[in-house]
Structure 1
């Protein structure tokens, strides 16, 4: 008997990504659903996403975490993936992530970014990520090298983590709470390409500083009793 193919939703947080959306959406694997969470775009991103067949969810509260969590709440598939919507990451590469979760080989699979092309990962953003990864290893014991946004896990399990951060700390909080809950966390290399358009977070020193601040706040939190 052929194995059952899991249903998959891909959450794509979006703020003015009309330039990148076609490239991203055409790479969503066949049979998967793209959930584009619009975080207040003014460039026609929601209309473009609908034209490409994506489900569009409006999240008026600004913040990467707000958009991601809104997408998680809108998802209905057994397995939920997250991916940036700026053409820096190919969502087609999520297929082995999903396979690993579906085969019960891991509870959470993360993408370790490998920059390709000039300007793919600005030095200040990469330095901030490396520092946070070291702090994460000390906090959780996980041997992770990146805090990349590309990831996959089961929807019900993600909801059980009760994530509360609605800013840049959301991806890190997911990993910290997963570790506290004893999840098996795996990491896979993925190419990281120069994004389309200007970054809203790591494109400037100020944006990177705000992201690091949000994530350090998450790391300073005590483990939840429910996750121990």
Structure 2
């Protein structure tokens, strides 16, 4: 049995989406950031730092997004979603996997400060402004890259695009997207993919964001 340990609207959506692109079914085990389930010893035996995603497949357990993506694409190359050693796009493919994590780390910082750091530890307006600017810079870089292509790689859709699943539905809570025309068109192409639509149906309801947009507070 394939098991995906998952929180709706989180990084584990990347893997949920990729599984759908590959036509692979998985048993979803749902968790919450706020109920303590990620700190349970049973889950830490699966994911040592208590984070999703974690994927149980082929008799192994993998708990980092990029590692899961690499494993799935290398063990199932018939889907054509990875770029294996020797492929002309191998380096940019790996770069986009890393870029997605860099961008996600900024989002994680913004999430932590806006959503989870209440009194007596208020978020720093200076840090929030800096992090929002850093996020905007990554979106600007994506917008330039997408000016002459539909997907992150010139040859077409790949698992690198699935790594953006979490990022691009979280970024609009912190950065106004109107100036990133190519990214917005890219998101529309993503949303039109049947596998993405199936993944969103399976995903579950997000519990993080209570506002449509989070402004940097005065201070």
**TM tier relative to shorter chain:** under 0.3
Whose strand fraction is larger, Structure 1's or Structure 2's? 1
TM-score, with structure 1 as normaliser: 0.25
Q: Give the structure with higher Rg (CA).
A: 2
**TM norm structure 2:** 0.25
Q: 1 or 2 for the larger relative contact order (CA 8 Å, sep ≥6)?
A: 2
